[in-house]
Amino acid sequence: MAGPPQPALMVPTSSAGLAPAGPAPATPVQDSVPPPAPPTAVDRGITDYLQHMGVERGLAANTLAAYRRDLARYSRYLSAAGCRRPEEVTRRHVTGFVQALSDGSDGGTALGVRSAARTVVAVRGLHKFWALEGHTPSDPASEVHPPMPGKRLPKAISVDEVTRILEAAGTDTATGLRDRALLEFLYSTGARISEAVGLDVDDISLAEAESGPAIVRLFGKGSKERLVPLGSYGARALDAYLVRGRPLLAAKGKGTPALFLNARGGRISRQSAWTILKAAAEKANITKDVSPHTLRHSFATHLLEGGADVRVVQELLGHASVTTTQVYTLVTADTLREIYAAAHPRALG
């Protein structure tokens, strides 16, 4: 006798009423991004040093940024060498890094002598700071010296070439008046380009004193202030720009106090200043490679050739040491030799 009928098996269906063809697909696993490694004691020590250099030593923003890049590379090198704490770094690590700067064996770019020397200066300063702060028992970098670049004489151009560039600069438009004023200012004061573009209107006084030319207040490396005379050509060019050019540019901006403005009314950049000078040099048919620093070199060289004392030129340039300024005397000595050889009856035999 047959048993009672069995209930039909119910097959689960999808929301569409169809039985699934196979097992449900597995939920994809999202790739997880590992969190960044926590900073090591070396990283924290570098941060402390950079804060010290920026706040207490007043290091310029551009120099501080360069130090940060250099020491980030040093941190990576030490990490690869297994150094996590300042006290683990030895002289061997420091000298190995100096070698890596030259040959790129750490995976970074192989640097020229000057760039490598700057990086080593940053590393030496870091270790000196760590030792003074008690982070390390000694300074492993104290006897490691940066590579010494060969002495390069400053590249100056002649008075005639400077005059041609200045006369080629600018038109009677707002930006043209600015261009002429900027280049006249650079040559008249010997200012660094960063000092010139960082000027505010209140930093200059065109009211000539009874005893001589106008005075400009410049802020050099480390925000060190110095006063520099502004010659009559530079003063006239600046006056024309302030009266007829800057107001038109300022009307396009947001009231910045900057002296030299771009076409949008903001502070002009160093890159724009380079472009202005290059255009003027090309217009004047100057084929030499000319930069804003060329005008600074020419300023110093022409002063010394005119009989200025080297220590006066040192003050005008804002050099901390007269040794830096004395390199310009080598240029003028070459000029003196040429004049002597051409003029003295018994110079050549």
Catalytically active residues are 192, 221, 293, 296, 319, 328
Residue whose pair of structure tokens reads 């930093």 in the numeric block? 203
Residue type, 324: T
- The token duo for 34 is 């590992």
The 10 Å CB-count burial string (b at 16+, else e) for 9-42 is eeeeeeeeeeeeeeeeeeeeeeeeeeeeeeebeb
The strand ranges marked E within the chain are: 204-205, 214-219, 225-230
- In sequence order, what are the beta bridge partners of 219? 225
Distance CA 191, CA 255 (A): 25
Distance CA 193, CA 221 (A): 12
Element holding 318 (H helix, E strand): none
Element holding 306 (H helix, E strand): none
Distance CA 125, CA 240 (A): 46
Distance CA 331, CA 173 (A): 38
Distance CA 249, CA 255 (A): 10
Q: What is the dihedral of CA 257, 260, 262, 265, to 10 degrees?
A: 20
